[in-house]
Chain A
Amino acid sequence: MNRLEFYMFHLMPYPFIPPGEDLESTWVTLPNTHFDARTAHKLYLEYMDQLVSCERLGYDGIIVNEHHQNAFGTIAAPNVWAAYLAARTSRIRIGIVGNALPLHLNPLRVAEEIAMVDIISGGRIISGHVRGMGAEYHSSGQNPTVSKARFWEAHDLILKAWTSDGPFTWQGEHYDIEHANIWPKPLQRPHPPIWLPGTGSADTIDEAARRRIPYMQTTTSNHVTKKSFETYRRVCEEKYGYEAAPTQLARVVPTYVAETDAQARREFMPHVMWFFRTGLRIPMHHLMPPGYNTAESFLRGMKGRMAAGVKDFWNLSYDELIDLGYIIVGSPQTVAEKYAEQQEQYGLGAMISAGGHLGSMPHWMVMKNMQIMAEEVMPHFREQGRPVWADTRPAGATTVSEHAATVGRPPIEPVLRLDNGKDLPARTGHIPEVLAETLGQALGPSLGQD
């Protein structure tokens, strides 16, 4: 078993905007007159190349996510991207981390789309479930004061729609669906893996631990990350009576690897700083809409941040970002050592944003980052350098003959019930002998007429 899984995580930013210092926010109110679709066309094609390349490079998975009305991440519809990536790749896992459940009016739509792309991809989907950034409540009309409740109810409904036979009636507090009966259902059984990202809030970790959902720590310092993972493992063990597997713990840590430490630092710096100073320029009045958290947890969080001296993203220096562990940058040896350290000390099993794109990075630099990551870092953590999917049987048959041998014919054949009460097999009904036999008489000059 591999010691560590590697995921490329793309936000698809649109970096051609003024510096954060000149903006109120990169979210909600940043005028979309800055957005030029022709430029985005070029960007999207580059972003797609980067993601598709990950399969050949040997990444375990590629991840897209959902964000709205901002320059930080322009994937408004991650399931659309996942479908495109499914078509352009064959075996690599595709993570959608995640769909912002409360922002969608009908969770069954998410359940259906994930099921569709899971089927078409041959069972390669990881379904991340998120609430959506606070800023997205300003932009969607959805009410942040019920977002948490809607999130868990939507999550439960999706899970039930995937795993229970339909139709069933869902009568929840926020969703009332008389006939829940999704067609299609996902290929992976009992359902695609679910991931739950979080920043370390105690109740999110508890819910993830209780439901045995892998927990993905978003970009935070080493200190906060370590604490979150310790909490998760402790809650799993003490409260829910099981030992968390390393694959239940993933960390987002933007990583850049180059020939030497100095070279890596030089190349990464402008893009890291764009990411934190401009991309993540989200003032409190956008980030935290009233009711998104309770006043109590808001106060707890504020006091915790003040006590720990946590700065806003855009006030962190490059050295602080490195020293506090928000990012990892260096030579292959440095990066491999840091990854090994985290794997041992934090007990995590997956690194997200392990090489790849960040902020304003040009295409060539992304490709270079990933190439060196694949050649010189990944092999340290793998048997024979093989990604997890290379040794995992796909959920769906990869050829028609395999399908015929392993699945065979469906239990019900489509038929056409004739006037004589007999059933004509629809898929062979065009064969004169079959039709004559079902009719019980010789065929007349024109088929289907008395």
Chain B
Amino acid sequence: MSTTTTPVPPRWHTEPRTVDVHGVPVAYRRAGTGPPTLFLHGHWLTRRWLPFHEQLSERADVIAPELPGFGATPAAPWIRDRTDLVLFLRDLLDALGTDRVHVAGYGLGGWIAADLACHFPERVARLSLLAPFGLRVPEQPIADIFAMNPADYADRYFNAAADGFDDCVPGVGTADLGGVEEFAHRYGELGAAGALIWTRRYDLALEWRLPWLRERGLPARVVTGELDRIVPAGHPRRWAELLGADLVTVAGIGHALLLQAPKATADAVIPAPAPVEEHQS
């Protein structure tokens, strides 16, 4: 940890490629062979090709864009809500020359992935949601990611096993965590997340839209850390019910499952080593 004002790239940072979508240079990383898999980040862990991505890329052609306002992708003033973002993602798929993809997403990204499937089911071959945000489960609100005390990150995100992940800060944090430039960068990213979900931390429409995906026969999978202290267990259970999806629990792990159990999590998304067949909906 340092208070330097010189930006230091986070660990696992790689230089992204860019693709233009309506004038926005969208940063993305892409590697691997197999079925094209669009992986949508959550409110943290941008700008990196994590061991989790690497694992996944051994089984699929992983495309990991940074959403407008996150990572190296500038915000676009005309993306003001999740609907705007989903339209943008459809056009991103066009720009990348991909038609039907396996869509996966983590946390906030899981919610966006589900939105994309609801709006453009013909573009989605499979859906994989990791600790997704987006539902309202009575008496089990998702943690307030915008107001969390940095002193609680280790406990809430890493289940008190945060050693080695100092530079993976899941909230705005403080300037002591990675310096003031990183602090401001995280502030901007959380602001981009806030623009999408602050006003309403859940979308009741998912309660009827997700069963429509089930009726269409969309293969879906929900992955959760057994000990998640950000997204309570009732959420992945409800997602799985509504989607008629498999619910895969990664044992002994919390919300930072991508970091703390990269292989097991990748296995949960795309079982290895058997190649995954393309599902037809």
Contacts and interface: CB of A to CB of B under 8 A. Distances in A.
Contacts of B185: 295
A184 interface: no
A362 interface: no
Interface stretch (A122-130, A141-149, A207-215, A232-240): A141-149
Contact of B194 (A144, A284, A296, A298): A144
Interface stretch (A245-253, A285-293, A376-384): A285-293
A392 interface: no
B219 to A, nearest CB: 35
Contacts of B146: 138, 289-290
Contact of B195 (A143, A284, A296, A302): A143
A145 B188 contact: no
Given A283-B149, A302-B183, A294 B194 contact: no
A249 B185 CA distance: 35
A285 B149 contact: yes
Interface string A1-42: 000000000000000000000001000110000000000000
Contact of A289 (B5, B147, B150): B147
B147 A286 contact: yes
Contacts of A138: 144, 146-147
Contact of B184 (A24, A137, A286, A298): A298
Contacts of A298: 184, 187-188
Interface string A296-307: 101100110010
B199 A141 contact: yes
Contacts of B188: 290, 294-295, 298
Interface stretch (B83-91, B120-128, B169-177): B169-177
From A137, A138, A141, A299, name the one whose CB has the most chain B CB atoms within 10 angstroms. Answer: A299
Contacts of A146: 195
B242 interface: no
Contact of B199 (A28, A143, A288, A296): A143
Nearest to A138: B147
Q: How large is the interface on B (under 10, 10 to 19, 20 to 34, 35 or more residues)?
A: 20 to 34
Contacts of B5: 303, 306
B180 interface: yes
A289 B181 contact: no
A272 B104 CA distance: 54
A222 to B, nearest CB: 25
Given A302-B175, A302-B180, A302-B183, A28 B195 contact: no
Interface string B182-207: 01110111111111001100000000
Interface string B125-152: 0000000000000000000101111100
Contacts of B194: 143-145, 289-291
A291 B172 contact: no
A28 B144 CA distance: 12
Given A286-B147, A290-B194, A291-B195, A299 B184 contact: yes
B198 A285 contact: no
B181 A299 contact: yes
B2 to A, nearest CB: 13
Nearest to B199: A143
From B5, B188, B193, B199, name the one whose CB has the most chain A CB atoms within 10 angstroms. Answer: B188
Contacts of B150: 285
A49 to B, nearest CB: 37
Contacts of A302: 175, 180, 183-184
B167 to A, nearest CB: 18
Interface in A142-182: 142-146
Contacts of A295: 184-185, 187-188, 191
30 contacts: A24-B149, A28-B147, A29-B147, A138-B146, A145-B191, A145-B195, A146-B195, A284-B172, A285-B147, A288-B187, A289-B198, A290-B146, A290-B172, A290-B190, A290-B191, A290-B193, A291-B190, A291-B191, A291-B194, A294-B191, A295-B184, A295-B187, A296-B184, A298-B187, A298-B188, A299-B180, A302-B175, A302-B180, A302-B183, A303-B180
Interface of A: 24, 28-29, 137-138, 141-146, 283-286, 288-291, 293-296, 298-299, 302-303, 306
| 9 nearest A-B residue pairs (beta carbon) | A295-B188, A290-B190, A291-B191, A299-B184, A290-B191, A145-B195, A291-B194, A143-B198, A143-B199
Interface of B: 5, 144, 146-150, 171-172, 174-175, 180-181, 183-185, 187-195, 198-199
Given A302-B183, A306-B175, 12 more contacts: A144-B194, A284-B174, A289-B198, A290-B187, A290-B189, A290-B190, A290-B191, A291-B198, A294-B188, A294-B191, A296-B184, A298-B187
